[in-house]
Amino acid sequence: MWQLSATEVVNKLKTGEVSPLEIMDVAIERIQKVEPHINALPIQFFDEARDIAKKFKCPKNPSLGWLGGLPIAVKDYNDVAGQLTTYGSPIYANNRPTQDDLTVATLRSNGAIPLAKSNVPEFAGSHTFNPVWGLTKNPWNLGKTAGGSSGGAAASLASGESWLANGSCLGGSLRIPASFCGVVGLRPSPGIVPRGKGLPAFDSLWVDGPMARNVSDLGLMLDAMAASSSHDPLSRITQAGGFQAAILESRPPKRMSFSTNLGLRSIDPEVGEICKSAANKFALMGCTVSDDIPDFSGSIESFQVLRALLFADVRGELLPKEKERINPDIVWNIEKGLNLSVNEIIQARRTRHDLFHRIARFFDTHDLLICPTVAVSAFPIEQRFPTEINGEVLTSYIDWMYLTFVITLVGCPAISIPCGLNKEGLPVGLQLIGRPHGDAQLLSYAKLLEQAIAFDASPAFFQNF
């Protein structure tokens, strides 16, 4: 049962072929077998989840994203009532919120049952390790990183511990772990998934979103997460008919562009070739493929400034008393934000505004922009972050994430789908970027390409469990 897709399991739940309690026990058994090897879901509340599953009832008119009592993994940046939310930090090691946050409450209202929290880096980052729960390993190679910050979520999906998992994204935290673990992660447009009070209300850099094993399951998860809420000022009306319906109406794009690096910096040549080969499958569907791309100049510097400003806003108050207990990379990012000049902030904002208008003009004549999700493959777990790419020396702990974080700036929906394996047998992700507010259309394109690539997302090691 754990090998079935989320869509298949939910259909069985809807018809009564299996009960929520039976599915819950399948998930718990799988987690207990796998967890000692990967440490993806360290916070577990199985007894509470089983109690909810026993009493679970389906309404007469379920929503488009109704999950029917499906167990899900919740990221340890999100609040589940009565359970730990640590952010991977010893400062919050005993933090137990009394209420679900808005993301979790929406999922629960659509028939999801949280049963565990997925591991994260401390506060943020794209390698999942922290002093509270330790390190999460990649199911494809236990010596490699699962990525982050939704690394535990991605690893739980790849190893069959969960059918669906939520994640969040600032610089690539949904897409990067999806790429490294051979699963699917979507950064939706801001406002599709409502966010709670834990983040600045008007910030559009950080979004919550879905992760799954395939695009169809991702559409199901997004339907379960999407909602209009008066508690989120960016929230907007959801997709008419639902995202799953849009996937079923897939048609190839007419014109797209592919770039290995968006004209910015170095990339692992093997990653570039794997992604180029996968993207060209659209040409076989009659799509015109070009190398025209928007001008991304200044985007790396702009994101670095705006990310630092957000860190100073959200975590700056911790620094005076807790500096010694915070990851030095996060301290660096907070201090960078606190020391920004007015001119630096204004220039970063202007660059972001100009970049958005350039990419909007690009989508006047193109349906898709495609590039690798990450410039490198999953790196060794002993390494905090890559320090060079193909001979180019990097200067900060997030430089290597540039292909995802410059897309964060423009607010376009972006999805990572697995497109092949490198010579080490590690998954490589392809990033598809859609036009502003074009989430449904993007998912339909991703489904077509997923079918054409026919990637086998099954780490061999875990098939024996």
Q: Which tens digits make up the pLDDT trace of 297-330?
A: 999 999 999 999 999 999 999 999 999 999 999 9
89, 118, 126, 149: the active-site residue:
149
**List 173, 216, 235, 299, catalytic entry:** 173
> Which residues in the chain come in under a pLDDT of 50?
none
pTM of the predicted structure, to 2 decimals: 0.97
Residue 55 is a catalytic residue: no
User: Does the annotation mark 173 as catalytic?
Assistant: yes
What is the model's pLDDT at position 166?
Answer: 98
Q: What is the pLDDT of residue 307?
A: 98
Tens digit of pLDDT for each residue in 430-464? 999 999 999 999 999 999 999 999 998 678 878 77
Please give the pLDDT value at position 198: 81
Return the pLDDT at 458: 77
Per-domain residue ranges of the chain: 6-299+341-464
To the query of whether residue 75 is one of the catalytic residues in this protein, the response is yes
Whole-number pLDDT of residue 457 = 67
Q: Does domain 6-299+341-464 have CATH number 3.90.1300.10?
A: yes
Secondary structure of the chain in the HEC alphabet?
CCCCCHHHHHHHHHHCCCCHHHHHHHHHHHHHHHHHHHCCCCEECHHHHHHHHHHCCCCCCCCCCCCCCEEEEEECCCCCCCCCCCCCCHHHCCCCCCCCCHHHHHHHHCCEEEEEEECCCCCCCCCCEECCCEECEECCEEEEECCCCCHHHHHHHHCCCCCEEEEEECCCCCHHHHHHHCCEEEECCCCCCCCCCCCCCCCCCCEEEEEECCHHHHHHHHHHHCCCCCCCCCCCCCCCCCHHHHHHCCCCCCEEEECCCCCCCCCCHHHHHHHHHHHHHHHHHCCEEECCCCCCCCHHHHHHHHHHHHHHHHHHHHHHHHHHHCCHHHHHHHHHHHCCCHHHHHHHHHHHHHHHHHHHHHHHHCCEEEEECCCCCCCECCCCCCCEECCEECCCCCHHHHHHHHHHHHCCCEEEEEEEECCCCCEEEEEEECCCCCHHHHHHHHHHHHHHHCCCCCCHHHHHC
What pLDDT was estimated at residue 456? 81
